[in-house]
Structure 1
Amino acid sequence: MREVAFIKQNKEKWLNFEKAIFHNQFKDPDDLASQYIHLINDLSFAQTYYPKSKIINYLNQLAAKAFQKIYRTKRQDTNRILSFWKTEAPLIVFQYRRYIAYAFIIFFCFVTIGVISAANDTTFVRLILGEDYVNRTLENIQKGDPVAIYKTGSNWGGFLAITFNNLFVGIKSFIYGIFGGLGTGFVLMQNGIMLGAFQYMFQQEGVFWESVRGIWIHGAMEIFAIVIEGAAGLLLGASILFPKTFTRIESFKIGVKDGVKILISTFPFTIAAGFLEGFVTRYSNAMPHFLSVGIILITLSIISYYFLIYPTIVFKKITKNYAAL
């Protein structure tokens, strides 16, 4: 069957299913599961015979939204909060995984710009990071403790201040997505350029490794979470600019709801990053190298697994379960 004929044959069925999903028109979970199986069959057919078709992406997203609905209509004995992070949030992350890819691409493009700009303009680092911060850091480098600035203040005071600031940045990044994603892009630009200039400064002073094994103890989760929050903002912007088959208001509501869930899913990692910065980073110089590097690798692995690998595992598991009905 030609792709055009395949789409024409099933288009009305897909659109009706899509409207039913987003308007809660399924009263019987078994009916929803049955139609979901038909959708998965169509997706498998498209992947087999039209591997480069854009219809695969559409059916993938529709299937992801459908099994979210199926999951919610099932009776759950597990704790609602636990089930959110265990299943619901990963399913939403999987559905909108391309926005996570966009956010990482945007962020690292600006990190690169920050590095290149700092390398070609001696005043750039001070412009981005501020005179006071740069001067204090240079003094600390001369004293043999490049990350001493992270050791000031009390443990609890630092933890709370840093955590609330990072939560604010994440929420702001999401809300700014209402400007068609441009506001979120601006937040990613600010943080990306700052990170690039920041790391170049330490490289230029010959203490890059010392900065990495100190700052990235908390930075692995902190930066990763900022990018995921940026993805939620881009999703919000896209829901306004590209409503697809929905009215703009309906699309916006969906974007807000799903974007907020992605945003909330980052909060435990943001809080963990604040804890590490307040209680662990300050002791990085006293740690053996294997311990500081181990903490960095473990924290980076945990958040990478949760947002990049685990959602696919959940998707495949639920798809397999309902395909067997």
Structure 2
Amino acid sequence: MNKHKFIQQRRPQWKRFEEFLYGTSRKSLSKLEAEQITEFSRLLREVSHDLATIRSRGWGHDLISYLNDLVARGHNLFYGAPPSNLSVFYRYVSLEFPRLFRANIGYFLTACLLFFLPLGISWYVVQNNPSLASRVIPEEIMSRFDTMYSDHGESDPDNASEEDSESESEGRSSFGDERATMAGFYINNNVGIALKCFALGILLGIGTVYTLLFNGIFLGAVSGYVISQGHGERFLSFVISHGSFELTAIAVAGGAGLMLGNALIHPGQRTRFQSLQVRGLEAVQIAGGAAVMLVVAALIEAFWSPSDVSPMLKYSVGSVLWLIVFLYLAFAGLQSDETGETAAQPGPSEKPGELPSA
């Protein structure tokens, strides 16, 4: 049997199973009639068998992705039990989000290219030519950064008078207060960037691409400008820790936005509305993971980044946090990946017949 004839024969069953999933996704399977449960089980086995057949014959990535999605959703609906809210959140953070992230890592890598490459280029250009910063950064923000990272002077504690000590204390307090104020700016700014990166994906991904490019250039210009003014150590020691979660979350949200755009441009076997429903749900879940990462970044930024510890300690902690983010996204839920892949493959008892040879 050739591919075209196979698809013609099996397409009605796939559509029936997809309609079944849409109709029962919000209800408990146990509340269905016995005949409906029997039909659901039969369709799940048949679609699993079709998926294995198409995989063995290499009949197209889009078709494999479409059927694999149906099988995975059907398996989760048939075998899943409603867990508690806390366990749902824990499973989402520890398993489902990193698994979905890796399954769609191509979007993330594209978002990284669109965000980190302009960031690095503008950083280098502005650091070597600070006069260009005014073309990207408003004067008001530049003056705020100058105030935030300006030196307040340090005195030798062995020779300092009481007045000098009080002045030094006020200077440190002022510097800490200014950093706390700017922490709010960082949080609001980067959360806003992440939300825009995701939500503007509905504009065929164009809005996401623009947001990533623009904000990569802006953040790079800010970094280059502050360092060019001689505040590199203070700036880098401040951002290195929370930046691991914050900047990565922006790229993750950007990848989710690109998923929305691609769902509309390449719906595959579905209508555009159906594609947006299915792929959009995955994109929302990935964007939710980015939101969790931003919350972690905000906590680090509020309680650790402004702390009065040595820059070397901050660099060490920041390096560890970057490693943690990498390991989390690369390996968290890896066992779930293997289990999910196994579940999507039809077992011997599920096959209505032997697979045809490739």
Deviation of 1:159 after TM superposition, in Å, equals 6.8
Q: Is the 8 A contact 2:94 2:332 kept in 1?
A: no
Structure 2 CA distance for partners of 1:24 and 1:191, relative to 1, 3 Å? farther
Q: Equivalent residue for 1:133?
A: 141
In the TM superposition, residue 143 of structure 1 has moved relative to its aligned partner by 4.2
Q: Does 1:101 align with 2:109?
A: yes
Label 1:90 to 1:24 Cα distance change in 2 as closer, same or farther (>3 A): farther
Q: Which amino acid aligns with 2:51?
A: L
Q: Which amino acid aligns with 1:221?
A: F
2:19 is aligned with 1:23: yes
What is the Cα deviation at residue 180 of structure 1? Answer: 1.1
Q: Gaps (5+ residues) in structure 2?
A: 25-36, 155-172, 348-358
How many Å apart are 1:103 and its aligned residue? Answer: 0.9
Instruction: Identify which of 304, 309, 325 aligns with 2:326.
Output: 304
- Return the alpha-carbon distance in structure 2 between the equivalents of residues 144 and 66 of structure 1: 65
Q: Which amino acid aligns with 2:342?
A: K
- TM-superposed deviation, 1:309: 3.6
Partner of 1:92: 100
1:264 aligns with 2:288: yes
- 1:82 is aligned to 90
Distance, in Å, in 1 between the alignment partners of 2:11 and 2:131 is 56
Corresponding residue for residue 43 of structure 1: 55
TM-score (norm 2): 0.71
In 2 relative to 1, CA 17–265 (structure 1 residues): closer, same or farther, beyond 3 Å? farther
Distance 1:154 1:116 in 2: 24
Larger relative contact order (C-alpha < 8 A, sep ≥ 6)?
2
Gap regions ≥5 residues in structure 1: 47-53
Corresponding position: 1:59 with 2:64 = yes
> Deviations for 1:263-312, whole angstroms, at most 9, x for unmatched residues?
112222111111111111111x52362x3234323332333334344365
Q: 1:72 to 1:111 in 2, by over 3 A?
A: farther
The amino acid that maps onto 1:32 is: L
Counterpart AA for 1:102? T
Matched with 2:215 is 191
- Which of 289, 314, 318 matches 2:336? 314
Q: CA-atom RMSD, angstroms? A: 3.7
The Cα of 1:229 is off from its aligned counterpart by: 0.7
Counterpart contact for 1:64–1:315, Cα < 8 Å: no
Q: Where do 1:125-274 residues align within 5 Å?
A: 125-138=133-146, 140-143=149-152, 151-152=176-177, 163=187, 165-205=189-229, 207-274=231-298
Equivalent pair of 2:264/2:275 in contact (CA under 8 Å): yes
TM, length-normalised to structure 1: 0.77
Residues in 2 aligned to 1:217 and 1:71: alpha-carbon distance in whole angstroms: 37
Cα offset for 1:323? 4.1
> Residue 68 of structure 1: CA displacement?
4.3
CA distance in 1, matches of 2:339, 2:65: 15
Larger Rg belongs to:
2
The answer to whether the Cα contact below 8 Å between 1:43 and 1:60 also exists between their aligned partners in 2 is no
Q: Aligned equivalents of 2:327 and 2:9: distance in 1?
A: 35
**2:158 aligned partner:** none
CA drift of 1:100 comes to 1.2
1:67-78 equivalences under 5 Å are 67-76=72-81, 78=83
Structure-2 residue corresponding to 1:49: none
Paired residues in the alignment total 310
Q: Is the 8 A contact 2:234 2:311 kept in 1?
A: no
**Aligned pair 1:111/2:135, yes or no?**
no
Letter in 1 for 2:106: R
Counterpart-to-counterpart distance in 1, 2:276 and 2:211: 21
Question: Aligned-pair distance for 1:152?
Answer: 2.6
The answer to whether the 8 Å contact 1:29/1:70 transfers is no
Identical aligned pairs, as a percentage? 18
1:236 and 1:252 in contact (8 A); partners too:
yes
Q: 3-state DSSP class of the match of 1:286?
A: coil
- Residues 173 and 187 of structure 1 are in contact (CA less than 8 Å); yes or no, is this contact kept in structure 2? yes
Quote the offset at 1:222 in angstroms: 0.7
Verify the 8 A CA contact 1:21 1:66 in the aligned structure 2.
Answer: no
Do structure 1's residue 123 and structure 2's residue 131 form an aligned pair? yes
- Quick check: 2:233–2:311 contact (8 Å CA) kept in 1? no
